[in-house]
Amino acid sequence: MPADMVGRNAGVIREGFSGETMGTSWSLLAVSPSAGTTNGVRAAFDRVVAQMSQWDTQSDLSRFNRAAPGLWHHIPDEFAYVVESALGIARASGGAFDAGLGRLTEAWGFGSVGPIEAVPEQLGASDRTIDFDPATRCIRRGEGAALDLSGIAKGYGVDLAAEWLLGAGVQHFLLEVGGELRGEGMRPDGQPWWVDVEMPPTSSIPPWRMALHDLSVATSGHYRRGFIADGRHYSHSFDPVTGRPI
């Protein structure tokens, strides 16, 4: 969360904006923002939702997940960039990150359909392959695969909006969407963008304060998103090996 929200120094205006997107909140601190700043930022977020939301049944991702497996589908540039990045992270992590877990995350209730009473065991062992052809920007999925980009799309939304801000001439800002933050330039007082990191309720570690000066940070807390069934807490983070929430 931003350490402070509004302020002025030597006549330079720092303005704050906020709203909701991707099932969470967003906030922006910008130094001397241009006209239409809010519209440009929201348009970037809306583009990510329209292309990559697992919760919007009419998004490009949702339509791909409903289509028959094994067939190639052409996707927009932004969607293709995130898919290619996700598959690269999957390879680099030895499969610890898996963008093909969508059927499992949906079955456990982290999607548009809500939880089902019992998750079929065969879902965890089925073919979750996602193939991407960079030359044609086409993707296809295995029989048991469905795209879930929730672990990466929100951060991409921050970057997409940040690039729009820089292109509009806004050089100094702190942008945050649900725990994903990017700081560019500095505050009017010459300080970097200071950010306080919320610690888990059970943590004994003092809160962190970090300086985002042309830097980004991504956070996630399993205590914030999940559900309780039969007295047990299930988080929104999944183990691709077991196919179950961590």
Distance between CA atoms of residues 39 and 182, nearest Å: 19
Distance between CA atoms of residues 149 and 204, nearest Å: 32
- According to the model, what pLDDT value does residue 7 have? 43
What's the chain's Rg over C-alpha atoms? Answer: 20
Q: Report the candidate in 117, 115, 96, 97 with the shortest Cα–Cα distance to residue 107.
A: 115
pLDDT tens, residue by residue, 84-118: 999 999 999 999 999 999 888 888 777 665 555 55
pLDDT in tens, the chain (246 residues): 444 444 445 557 889 999 999 988 999 999 999 889 999 999 999 999 999 998 899 999 999 999 999 999 999 999 999 999 999 999 999 999 999 998 888 887 776 655 555 555 555 556 789 999 999 999 999 998 999 998 899 999 999 999 999 999 999 999 999 889 999 999 999 999 999 888 888 888 888 899 999 999 998 777 666 677 778 777 778 888 887 788
Q: Report the candidate in 52, 50, 43 with the shortest Cα–Cα distance to residue 80.
A: 52
- Single-letter code of the amino acid located at 231: G
Pairing of the two strands 24-31 and 193-197: unpaired
HSE of 39 in the Cβ direction (CA atoms, 13 Å)? 4
- According to the model, what pLDDT value does residue 44 have? 97
Cβ proximity of 82 and 153 under 8 Å: yes
As given in the structure block, the two tokens for residue 17 are: 């904006």
Q: Report the candidate in 139, 136, 130, 152 with the shortest Cα–Cα distance to residue 48.
A: 152
pTM of the model: 0.84
